[in-house]
Structure 1
Amino acid sequence: MPQIDDLVLFTQVIEQGSFSKVAQTNKVTKSVVSKRISRLEEDLGVQLIFRTTRKLTLTEAGEMLFYRAKGIAQTAKNAFDTVTSYSETLAGHIKMSVPTISGELLLARAVAEFCEKHPGLTVDMSMNNDFVDLVADGYDLVIRTGHLEDSSLIARHIFNSRWMICASPEYLAQQGEPQFPEQLVPYNCLGYTCQTNGAFNWLFTRDDATYNVKVSGNFSSNNAVALKQAALAGKGLAYLPKCLVYNELDNGKLVEVLSQQTAKVIGIYAVYPYTRKPAKKVQLLIEHIRSCYLDMKENF
């Protein structure tokens, strides 16, 4: 009968592509790893891996076994985590990725406050608008906006972010204020290139239905702060998240237009792999971030 720990070791060898790396991970010698893989092959009566000096290649039997067994190590870890989390202390390190806008506005402060509350924790927060590979890049938590298409991930909803169209009072005094979305066509609209439906396709609502209006402009960017600065300088209209322009609206440096007709609302989610029960420290960080959003909900 094959040993379960040999099967776990086999999946690690394939995932890491190296006997040496697996030996280092498990604090054993390379020869021990090789012998245990050979023992698994003997117990099963088939060759699982073609070994060469340069790479490891699965046999057909090896591919079938790996496909069926690759989750066994994570399943065991999840089971242990379920028990050990009861006595888990908030210590260690969290690696997370967040969108640029959220990171610059709220998340940096929220995460710093969380670290202050838990001195045994450290957090590395990278800001990236592209969707990272959680497993391959070693992230414990990713905060993302919009629709989640990858079914292998779990998304915990945190909050909804409302977007609005705004411009400087000077620009509106010069160009006039549009009363209907269709009147935006002659205006200089500042495009956000990270929009999934296109930088110049702006979303509106009418009679409980949403629709796009194709606008145009001479400036676009993947950085919403740059668009806000252009709007503040009187260069055009920008469609931006409320949290980014809340202060400028409050002090009158920007003015919202078409407030009853804009329809862009984007969900903010905490994302992690479905095969991994998040550690207690990650769960508490998610709850802390959600609490911070709720405390400032009027800004969103």
Structure 2
Amino acid sequence: MTKIDDLILFVQVVEHGSFSKVAEINSLTNSVVSKHIARLEEDLGVQLLYRTTRKLTLSEAGKVLYQGAKNVKEAAVEAIDAVYGYAESMVGNIKMSVPTISGDLLLANTVAEFCNMHPGLTVDMSMRNSFVDLVGGGYDLVIRTGDMGDSNLIARHLIDSQWVICVAPAYLQRFGRPTTPEALVNHNCLQYAYQTTGASEWEFKGKDGNYIIKVAGNFTTNNAGSLRKIALGGNGIAYVPRCLVYQDILKGDLIDIFPEQVGKKLGIYAVYPFTRQAPLKIRLLIDHIRESYLAIGESF
């Protein structure tokens, strides 16, 4: 126990007039309480209490210490009361980070909707593709795609993101449609640099498991939105998460050329620091995000 703990025990002894009562309140033994009061007296070099078999009496030094120490106790109680039940409240701020694609397409509106449902809550959401330092950056929640290898974090699976290979009709009119994945080596394949497997390594399903076709092209970017626009302009073939181009495919502005053969699928996870129990506001926000993903699950 610290000196602050000793001061709080001292105040309790004065207020209750009994070592045994204080021991009972704090689930300690009488001897432990006595030792800590004795240590406090030794550290201060004064006697604080006169002890008889019937009662405790404050010394002059004890009276002076009690006047100051009771403020320490009151401040500690107020601090505890201020946060008691905070983990189960829907107030305060949540700092979170999400991938750019998910943020633009879904999460910005989803999180804003959640804030409107809980007026005492605010959310600071940053959108970036790089993996942030969740603990070092003070984040309460991060949405990530791909492998979750950090054992100090809790990752809850939300949904799987299927990738597609898509192209604008204008490109096919000029250069023809590749009929097999292997034929892609003869086409201008736009490359999305934000990939752990490599921008030029496109994954397909095979009889003996997934395999890789190494492609090439004249344009690489780490911004999925830019890649989509370039593909829509008929400038090449893109390999991207389906959610990014789902509406374009439905409208016919882009064509999914290998709908059953693309092998890449990445999990989307809600990640938060390791804790026995995530606060209620984090748990409910994760539930709300998951429900939003599932509501448009086909597009992912």
Superposition TM-score, scaled by structure 2 size: 0.71
Determine the structure 2 residue equivalent to 1:103: 103
Q: Report SS of the residue matched to 2:125.
A: strand
Question: How far apart, CA to CA, are the structure 2 residues paired with 1:112 and 1:263?
Answer: 34
Question: How far apart, CA to CA, are the structure 2 residues paired with 1:224 and 1:84?
Answer: 44
Question: How far apart, CA to CA, are the structure 2 residues paired with 1:129 and 1:5?
Answer: 46
Q: Which residues of 2 match residues 237-256 of structure 1 at below 5 A? A: 237-256=237-256
Determine the structure 2 residue equivalent to 1:281: 281
Contact 2:140–2:273, Cα closer than 8 Å, also in 1 = no
Query: Which residue identity is paired with 1:160?
Result: D
Q: CA RMSD in A?
A: 2.3
| Pair 169,137 (structure 1): closer, same or farther in 2 beyond 3 Å | same
What is the number of residues matched between the two proteins?
228
Displacement after TM superposition at 1:87 (Å): 8.1
Deviations 1:117-137 (A, max 9, x none): 111111010011111111111
Q: Which has the larger radius of gyration?
A: 2
Gaps spanning 5+ residues in structure 1: where? 7-38, 44-79
Displacement after TM superposition at 1:154 (Å): 1.1
Query: Which residue identity is paired with 1:243?
Result: C
Contact 2:205–2:211, Cα closer than 8 Å, also in 1 = yes
Q: Report SS of the residue matched to 2:186.
A: coil
Determine the structure 2 residue equivalent to 1:293: 293
Deviations 1:116-175 (A, max 9, x none): 111111101001111111111110000000001111111000000111000000101211
Determine the structure 1 residue equivalent to 2:32: none
Determine the structure 2 residue equivalent to 1:126: 126
Question: How far apart, CA to CA, are the structure 1 residues paired with 2:206 and 2:5?
Answer: 61
Query: Which residue identity is paired with 1:233?
Result: G
Question: How far apart, CA to CA, are the structure 1 residues paired with 2:265 and 2:210?
Answer: 11
Determine the structure 2 residue equivalent to 1:215: 215
Displacement after TM superposition at 1:276 (Å): 5.7
Superposition TM-score, scaled by structure 1 size: 0.71
Q: Report SS of the residue matched to 1:227.
A: helix
Question: How far apart, CA to CA, are the structure 2 residues paired with 1:125 and 1:86?
Answer: 21
Displacement after TM superposition at 1:277 (Å): 2.9
Q: Which residues of 2 match residues 161-180 of structure 1 at below 5 A? A: 161-180=161-180
Gaps spanning 5+ residues in structure 2: where? 7-38, 44-79
Which 4+ residue blocks in structure 1 deviate beyond 6 angstroms?
Answer: 1-6
Displacement after TM superposition at 1:273 (Å): 1.6
| Pair 200,90 (structure 1): closer, same or farther in 2 beyond 3 Å | same
Displacement after TM superposition at 1:215 (Å): 0.1
| Pair 2,121 (structure 1): closer, same or farther in 2 beyond 3 Å | closer
2:160 corresponds to 1:160: yes
